[in-house]
Amino acid sequence: MKLAILPGDGIGTEIVAQAVRVLQALDLKFEMEEAKVGGAAYEAFGHPLPDATLNLAKSADAILFGAAGDWKYDTLDRPLRPEQAILGLRKHLGLFANLRPAICYEQLTHASSLKPELVAGLDILIIRELTGDIYFGQPRGRRTATDGHFPGALEAFDTMRYSVPEIERIGHVAFQAAQKRSKKVCSVDKANVLETFQLWKDVMTEVGKSYPDVQLSHMYVDNAAMQLVKAPKAFDVVVTGNMFGDILSDEASMLTGSIGMLPSASLDKANKGLYEPSHGSAPDIAGKGVANPLATILSAAMMLRYSLAQPEAAVRIEAAVQAVLAQGLRTPDIYSDGTTKVGTSQMGDAVVAALSTQG
Ligand code: IPM
Ligand code: MG
């Protein structure tokens, strides 16, 4: 099993190092190769996604990714910004299915900004289409307006678009995921305003006919944003487009108390995937040894499950994470009175130790 290890920027290096230790503590054989990505790659090679990094990612069975981005690159031309690395990997590797679980761990119920009873036991799976929509739609750019409210003015434009097969394939991912869970899919759209999402809704309805055991509902994105904070436990699998999924997955992550806990998987049609924490590079705390490595460690567990066919190892990692939470160990982002504050590497130590004491 060949793994591409792409730590990236900010806290990426610290948290990926802990996930690598956890993988090495399993009785499995991995070949791991590391490469620079994002701002780190820009500094070293003048490009956020150098060919060598892309080729390594292509040749690997799975990719463990830390984070890309730092405010200090905000003034670079867009193609050179760190974020282009993750967008480029998604595009070049065809990683169209983004799985973002939002799970509220029992011990962290009180870390949520919502009332504990609203989030206790929360377990939502957001499935975000990742290679289409307004993120990648052409044409895009700047031009002089020839119509609209201010003809002659400089304007910028992007294109929201989805084709039927693009919607179908993410629909199948969602329905199949729901079959393994509570058999409910909520498709989020803006069909009341947007052509793109009227098509989305129509296609989801068609795809749903092949899954009579799964209950499909539709919801407008604005209402979904509201329902997510009103009654989040009413959701199970949520499927939506790239842009809405970006926004709703951040919202859902905070229901759980800490974005520092949430893993993600981005899969291609053969389940090869890129695994990364749902949080970003957090440059404000980078290098301080306080970042929470658990989202990355849990991403490694998802990698074992989805791309490496090692579900038992995935369960072991998840159980080890539960064990350290039960021991009361907390990085600052999830700390509360009565628990023990630890740093990034101590948290990694604890997970490795918990693995070694499993029966
Ligand atoms: C995410 C991030 C990315 C996105 C950025 C870094 C390009 O916010 O993975 O959610 O918008 O998809
Ligand atoms: Mg985002």
Q: Is 74 a catalytic residue?
A: no
Residue whose CA lies nearest to ligand 1 atom number 5: 83
185-233 per-position pLDDT tens digit:
999 999 999 999 999 999 999 999 999 999 999 999 999 999 999 999 9
List of the chain residues with pLDDT < 50: none
What's the pLDDT score for residue 266?
Answer: 98
Q: How far apart are CA 357 and CA 293, in angstroms?
A: 20
CA 39 to centroid of ligand 1, rounded, Å: 15
What's the pLDDT score for residue 123?
Answer: 95
What's the pLDDT score for residue 308?
Answer: 96
Q: Is 133 a catalytic residue?
A: no
**Helix, strand, coil shares, percent, the chain, to 5:** 45, 20, 35
Which domains does the chain possess?
A: 1-95+268-359 (3.40.718.10), 97-263 (3.40.718.10)
What's the pLDDT score for residue 260?
Answer: 87
Catalytic residue among 246, 335, 341, 349: 246
Catalytic residue among 135, 162, 275, 306: 135
220, two tokens: 């407008």
Instruction: Please give the number of the atom of ligand 1 that sits closest to the Cα of 98.
Output: 9
What phi-psi label fits residue 155: left (phi over 0), alpha (psi between -120 and 50 degrees) or beta?
beta
